Structure 1
Amino acid sequence: MEPHDDVRLARMKRFDLEPELSLTVTKLAYSTPAEIFDVVRNPTLHIDFDPKEMIVSVDPSSADPITQVGDTFTMNMSSPKMGGAYRMVNHVTRLEKNAAIAWKPATEGYPPIGHRWTWTLEPRDAESTYVSLTYDWLDVTHEGFLAKNTFPIFPLESFHESVDALVEFVESDWGDGYEDAVAHG
């Protein structure tokens, strides 16, 4: 068993916020909260840690790092399940430097339906961080979505894959990418 797996099993929480309204997956990253935060708040880097390869590109208007609650960033996406190409506008709802970032996605032209993605970073020591991805549907009120009982929208394994992909990316030797992210932030 890898050291990451021990930590994941010890720290994974399902239905973290309210019963059956969220899930959280956590993994230890051998990187600092500041390094990880700079990656997650930079929309152009999301392509590099998208394990489902649904992000095709980032809209040029969204190339700058996120700086405040209320910011939006637009991703050009592709998925057979969604009928091919589409665009997602992500509305930033939380931003705590080196600690957390959250957004509610919306299909372009529509308001968010209420589900949210939150990355939280908890330092373990000076060189490692617990990285958590929480997906919640606490604010979904649309009867059609609730009646379908489609939440979470992806299987649990895909949340593990997302956290794994981010951790692998920040632990890799991506050097110039980090300097570029910091330079734009």
Structure 2
Amino acid sequence: MSDQKITVQRTVDASAKDLFEVLTNPKRHTELDGSGFVRSDERSNRIQGVGDVFTMNMEGDHMGGEYQTDNHVTAYAENTMVGWQTAPAGTDPKGWEWLWELDAQGPDSTLVSLTYDWSKVTDKELLQQVSFPLVSKGQLEDSLGNLAAAVSS
């Protein structure tokens, strides 16, 4: 863990393909969220590649209650990686990113890495308003556990 990035890992008893299916379906993201911020997707389509944008309905005190985010896909490699930068709906990304990486350990076992990186946030006003990290290492680890549960259901 650096001072601007947190990475957690867990081996999940599932294929990288099955995990990727869950991760690229925004409708399933409420099942994954260990932070408690994600409420639902806003009629989003499955993530198909870099450049896609999906919108999530969120809630958190740091934003004064309910809000939406647009998530701009920045990384996509089938069955291996998916990532996005988050921004308040209707705005450009501000520099924080979520990256899921899948390393198949066999047909039914995958090492999953989840990185929350805010090192590209350069807006000084935003850095004063938002106390990064908004999501703790424990909450990220909960997201890995939630992914393991979601893929088995």
Do the two structures share a fold, i.e. TM-score over 0.5? yes
Q: For residue 27 of structure 1, what is the aligned residue in structure 2?
A: 10
TM-score by length of 2: 0.92
What 5-or-longer segments of structure 1 have no aligned partner?
A: 1-13, 175-185
Give the structure with higher Rg (CA).
1
Larger mean Cα displacement after TM superposition, 99-108 or 44-53: 44-53
Verify: 1:43 aligned to 2:30, yes or no.
no
Q: CA deviation at 1:117?
A: 0.2
Partner deviation per Cα, 1:57-98 (whole Å, 9 max, x = no partner): 2112x1x21101000000111223321211010000010000
CA, structure 1 residues 57+148, in 2 after alignment: closer, same or farther (shift >3 Å)?
Answer: closer
Identity within the alignment, %: 35
Verify: 1:137 aligned to 2:118, yes or no.
yes
Q: For residue 74 of structure 2, what is the aligned residue in structure 1?
A: 93
TM-score by length of 1: 0.77
Indicate if the aligned counterparts of 2:62 and 2:130 stay in contact, CA closer than 8 A: no
Higher relative contact order (CA 8 A, sep 6+): 2
Counterpart of 2:109 in structure 1: which amino acid?
A: S
CA, structure 1 residues 150+53, in 2 after alignment: closer, same or farther (shift >3 Å)?
Answer: closer
Q: For residue 127 of structure 1, what is the aligned residue in structure 2?
A: 108
Q: For residue 5 of structure 1, what is the aligned residue in structure 2?
A: none
Aligned length: 153
Q: For residue 144 of structure 2, what is the aligned residue in structure 1?
A: 163
Q: Which has the higher helix share?
A: 1
Indicate if the aligned counterparts of 2:50 and 2:73 stay in contact, CA closer than 8 A: yes
CA, structure 1 residues 148+75, in 2 after alignment: closer, same or farther (shift >3 Å)?
Answer: closer
Q: For residue 65 of structure 1, what is the aligned residue in structure 2?
A: 46
Indicate if the aligned counterparts of 2:27 and 2:41 stay in contact, CA closer than 8 A: yes
Partner deviation per Cα, 1:124-183 (whole Å, 9 max, x = no partner): 12210011100111211111234568322222211111111111211x2x2xxxxxxxxx
Indicate if the aligned counterparts of 2:37 and 2:58 stay in contact, CA closer than 8 A: yes
What 5-or-longer segments of structure 2 have no aligned partner?
A: none
Among 86, 95, 114, which residue is 2:95 paired with? 114
Counterpart of 1:107 in structure 2: which amino acid?
A: P
